[in-house]
């Protein structure tokens, strides 16, 4: 049996879960922030989402192997950002049941315990594009009852925002959407080997749970080959998600 046919790892299931977030989006700009989302976006482009647009993070549209296929000037990029034509997958140092995200600081704003990235583009992203989240370590420190500072805007704060659309949160344990009461977080899938109870124990608030919690699909042999031999032959994904 070749390596490409061996059992998928947890990291590879996370890649699949992230890739699936761009399924059906059509010709939109994918903005993955982080290693696993980036592998997922490239995998989606190479398989079921060939119309997806990828960038080099600066001014070019590129193919999954880095070949330049177009120019994306900053003014055009902003048009995509403010018109709902970009789907961002961001990280979260904290996220609450409503989808409010914090990447700025831990502790009170006046005297934070820890300074993080800062607000950056999170408000603009969440108010103007479809947004998903990637959390490589699902824990009570990240999934909190109340974020210390709102950077990305949740459902309880986005009234009237035309393009506000929080999709899903993918973590190393499973996938959550916002189909709970009042558009709060709901567990819809776990990765193989993970239980619903494990997700509950790792979450500070009580998430809603779908009537039928799915199991993240395994990558096909073709997808495993692309992940392992083409997109991430150095196996950097294993350093972000263990197991």
For the stretch 75-104, pLDDT in tens is: 777 777 777 788 999 999 999 999 999 999
**Nearest Cα to Cα of residue 185 among 130, 125, 145:** 145
Whether the per-residue pLDDT at 2 is higher than 50: the answer is no
C-alpha distance across the termini of the chain, in Å? 21
Evaluate whether residue 5 is within a structural domain: no
Evaluate whether residue 76 is within a structural domain: yes
CATH of the domain at 221: 3.40.1080.10
Would you tell me the crossing angle of helices 10-20 and 35-46 to the nearest 10 degrees?
60
Number of domains in the chain: 1
Evaluate whether residue 197 is within a structural domain: yes
Domain carrying residue 96: 10-240
Whether the model pTM is above 0.85 = yes
Q: Check if the beta carbon of residue 173 is closer than 8 Å to that of residue 138.
A: yes
Split at pLDDT 50, 70, 90, the class of 243 is low
- Give the chain's mean pLDDT: 92
Evaluate whether residue 2 is within a structural domain: no
């Amino acid at each position: 049996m070749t390596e490409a046919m061996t059992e998928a790892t947890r990291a590879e299931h996370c890649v699949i879960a992230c890739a699936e977030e761009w399924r059906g989006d059509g010709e939109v700009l994918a903005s993955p922030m982080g290693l696993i989302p980036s592998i997922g976006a490239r995998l989606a482009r190479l398989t079921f989402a060939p119309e997806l647009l990828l960038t080099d993070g600066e001014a070019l549209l590129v193919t999954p192997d880095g070949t330049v296929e177009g120019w994306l000037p900053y003014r055009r990029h902003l048009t995509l950002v403010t018109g709902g034509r970009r789907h961002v997958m961001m990280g979260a140092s904290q996220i609450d049941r409503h989808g409010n995200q914090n990447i700025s600081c831990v502790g009170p704003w006046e005297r934070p315990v820890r300074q993080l990235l800062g607000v950056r583009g999170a408000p603009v992203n969440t108010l103007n594009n479809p947004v998903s989240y990637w959390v490589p370590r699902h824990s009570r420190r990240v999934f909190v009852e109340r974020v210390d500072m709102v950077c990305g805007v949740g459902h309880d704060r986005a009234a009237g925002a035309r393009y506000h659309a929080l999709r899903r949160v993918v973590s190393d344990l499973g996938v959550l959407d916002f189909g709970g009461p009042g558009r709060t977080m709901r567990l819809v899938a776990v990765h193989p080997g993970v239980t619903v109870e494990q997700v509950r124990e790792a979450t500070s608030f009580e998430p809603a749970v779908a009537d039928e919690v799915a199991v993240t699909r395994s990558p096909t042999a073709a997808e495993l080959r692309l992940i392992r031999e083409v997109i991430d032959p150095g196996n950097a994904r294993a350093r972000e998600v263990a197991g």
